[in-house]
Amino acid sequence: MSGKGTSTIHPGQNRNDRLIQEFNHDPYHAKLKLKEPTACPQCRAVYEKGRWRWGQIPADVYETLCPACQRIHDKVPAAFLTLSGQFFSQHKDEIMNLAHNYIQREAKTHPLKRLMDCNDDNGIVHMTFTELHLARGIGEALEKAYEGDLNYQYNKGEFMLRVTWSR
């Protein structure tokens, strides 16, 4: 894997051989289908036709916390993103605007993709997310816009991704 956060699939190699594999063992996603319609009492997302979405809440709805609200309640992020470096410090407002715009764009159509927390520790920003792809997408957007060093760490057996970007 190169330092740019990419991997190459060679002929005869299937998608399961990639370094960052997507497993279906997220403990926060229901193993069985929920009764429909179901709504989350906190964020008001609606589960219909096998997926969570934003929309009108039907009458006589079942209620349960969606996976994102459950993660937030339990304080168990699915992904971590760390932003650092001299370039980051010099362009922090611009870079953070890019990250927050990405988060807002994704949240409009994907209720389970949310920022849990964001804090600054002496110029190093740590962000946590309810979903893996959000952290990875922000990291890739930063690499595309500003280059830098992008790295992923996905621990086999855990449903957690650590993404670092620095420049």
**47 and 110 housed in the same domain:** no
Between these two residues, 72 and 2, which has the higher pLDDT value? 72
pLDDT of residue 163 exceeding 70: yes
Instruction: Tell whether 2 is covered by a domain.
Output: no
**40 and 116 housed in the same domain:** no
Indicate the pTM of the whole model: 0.80
CA distance 133 to 153: 13
- Supply the pLDDT for residue 24: 52
Instruction: Tell whether 8 is covered by a domain.
Output: no
Rounded to an integer, the average pLDDT of 61-77 is 95
**123 and 158 housed in the same domain:** yes
Range of the domain at 45: 30-65
Q: What is the total count of domains within the chain? A: 2
**53 and 82 housed in the same domain:** no
Rounded to an integer, the average pLDDT of 154-166 is 86
**35 and 97 housed in the same domain:** no
Q: For residue 143, what are the contacts with CB-CB under 8 A and spacing of at least 6?
A: 4, 5, 150, 165
